[in-house]
Structure formats: C-alpha cells, structure tokens
C-alpha cells in the first residue's frame, strides 16, 4: 500500500513562501518509492467557515455542502496531513483557520458522539506536518498559531507527539524563502524523514 499524503497549501497567495516550503517538502516525499501525494490549494478548495451551529453534534456531519464534503473523507484516508500557512496578524491566515474550525465535525464525532475518527488499527500510524512562514523576525511569531494546529490534528486522531513542525520567520516578500540559508534543506529532510517514519509504522502494522 502506498503512503498517502494530503497537503494543504493554505495561503491566499499562490506560490508564495509558505507554499514554496510546502513544495520543497512534498518534492522530497515524492522522491521516496510508493508515495501518493495530493496537494490542495485552499484558494481552490471552497471551504466556508464553521457556522457554530453545533448540528454536527447530533448529525455526525456538517450541514454545509461545500469543498469539505470531499476533503472530509480525504483527511480520514490520508496517512500524512500537511498543513501550510503564512502567519497573518500573529496567527494562521483566516483561510487555514476556516479549515481548522471546520474540523469541528471530527471533534463532535470523537467527544460528543464517542465514535471513532479513524479505525483503531490506524491510530498512531498517521503523522501531521505543520509548515509556516512569517514576515516578522520575532521568534514567538508562531506561538499563537500552534495551539489551533494542535487542535486540528488532535480531533483527526493525530496526537501532539506525531506532529512535525517547520516554521521559518523573517521571510516576507514573495520569493524571500529562496534566500533562506536552511529552509530548503530542512524541508527536504523533513519530507524524507516523515515518509520513512510512516513506512516504518505502517510496516509494523502489516507484520503483526
């Protein structure tokens, strides 16, 4: 079985710094054998924000019919979910926050309806990757984004210890990340390491 990677390019700006970081990571993943990658730019994904209606607590599905209908299933099926976002105003850009908030349906499934999000045998065999870029050079510029990212992964059954992070500050103008001393090599190493780790974990599952 190939390793399935679902990657969200979260920035409203196509081919900017956070998407470049994502592309480097995905290119390294694609170098490994038996990897299937799907990249979803949120600019084309048609994801409305959560309406806070809480209907998912009863229905086990969202009342909104939009791009999440397809992505919901893909999120469950993927072995690795990569999320990339620029930092806007000290947080995730609102497009990514909309995706995170729409994961409420998984939270309802898990904590209100007490139903599994992924089958038990897949637990611990999924990894999350969060990639971010920020124009500001403050080291704490990512701090407020991370808790929301953890929420997102938590409700889709990827625990904190299974989230990998690569967050690059001080890259503002389009293309600035190309000049960063380590971003590209770090992204490539991360991509490779994540696939190797997943193969190890998935292999263990098959052996038993």
Partner 1 sequence: MTITVLGISGSPRRHGNTETLLDSFLEGAKDAGASVEKVVLKDLNYTPCRGCNACHKTGDCIVKDDAPVLYEKMFASDIVAVASPIYSMGITAQLKGFIDRAQYLWARKFILRTLDFPEDYIRKHKGVFISTAGQGLSHVFDSAFPAVTALFHDIGFDYVLNIVANNMDKYNGIKNHPTALKEAYEKGQQIVRELENSTKNA
User: By C-beta, is 94 or 123 nearer to partner 1?
Assistant: 94
**Using CB under 8 A, which of 103, 158, 163, 166 touches partner 1?**
103
Under rule CB under 8 A, residue 11 binds partner 1: yes
Q: How far is the CB of 72 from partner 1 (least distance, A)?
A: 16
CA-CA distance, 21 to 42, in Å (whole number)? 16
Nearest CA to 82 among 166, 2, 1, 200?
166
Nearest-approach distance from CB 99 to partner 1, in angstroms = 8
| 109 counts as binding partner 1 under rule CB under 8 A | no
3-state secondary structure the chain: CCEEEEEEECCCCCCCHHHHHHHHHHHHHHHCCCEEEEEEEHHHCCCCCCCCCCCHHHHCCCCCCCCHHHHHHHHHHCCEEEEEEEEECCEECHHHHHHHHHCHHHHHHHHHCCCCCCCHHHCCCCEEEEEEECCCCCHHHHCCHHHHHHHHHHHCCCCHHHEEEEEECCCCCCCHHHHCCCHHHHHHHHHHHHHHHHHHHHHHHHHC
By CB under 8 A, name the one of 34, 143, 178, 204 that touches partner 1.
143
- From candidates 49, 170, 199, 201, binder to partner 1 by CB under 8 A: 49
Whole-number minimum distance, CB 124 to partner 1, in Å?
22
Find the part of the chain contacting partner 1 (CB under 8 A) among 29-37, 119-127, 142-150, 189-197. 142-150
Does 92 interact with partner 1 (rule: CB under 8 A)? Answer: yes
91 makes contact with partner 1 (CB under 8 A): yes
Q: Is residue 80 at the binding interface for partner 1, with CB under 8 A as the rule?
A: no
> Which segment (10-18, 28-36, 159-167, 196-204) binds partner 1 by CB under 8 A?
10-18
Q: Which residues pair with 91 in a beta bridge?
A: 88
Size of the site for partner 1 (CB under 8 A): 35
Under the rule (CB under 8 A), what is the footprint of partner 1? 11-13, 16, 49-53, 86, 88-95, 97-98, 100-101, 103-104, 143-148, 150-152, 173-174
């Amino acid at each position: 079985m190939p390793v399935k990677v679902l990657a969200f390019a979260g920035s409203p700006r196509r081919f900017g710094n956070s998407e470049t970081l994502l592309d480097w990571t995905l290119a390294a993943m694609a170098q490994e054998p038996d990897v299937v990658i799907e990249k979803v730019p949120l600019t084309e994904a048609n994801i409305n924000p959560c309406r806070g209606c809480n209907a998912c607590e009863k229905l086990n599905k969202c009342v909104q019919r939009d791009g999440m209908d397809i992505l919901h299933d893909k999120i469950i099926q993927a072995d690795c979910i990569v999320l990339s976002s620029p930092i806007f105003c000290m947080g995730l850009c609102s497009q990514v926050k909309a995706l995170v908030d729409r994961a409420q349906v998984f939270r309802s499934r898990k904590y209100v309806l007490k139903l599994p999000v992924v089958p038990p045998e897949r637990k611990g065999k999924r990894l999350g990757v969060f990639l971010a870029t920020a124009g500001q050079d403050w080291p704490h510029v990512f701090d407020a984004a991370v808790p929301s990212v953890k929420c997102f992964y938590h409700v889709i059954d990827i625990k904190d210890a299974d989230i990998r992070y690569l967050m690059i500050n001080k890259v503002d103008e389009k293309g600035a990340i190309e000049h960063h001393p380590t971003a590209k090599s770090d992204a490539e190493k991360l991509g490779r390491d994540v696939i190797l780790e997943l193969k190890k974990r998935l292999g263990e599952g098959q052996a038993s």
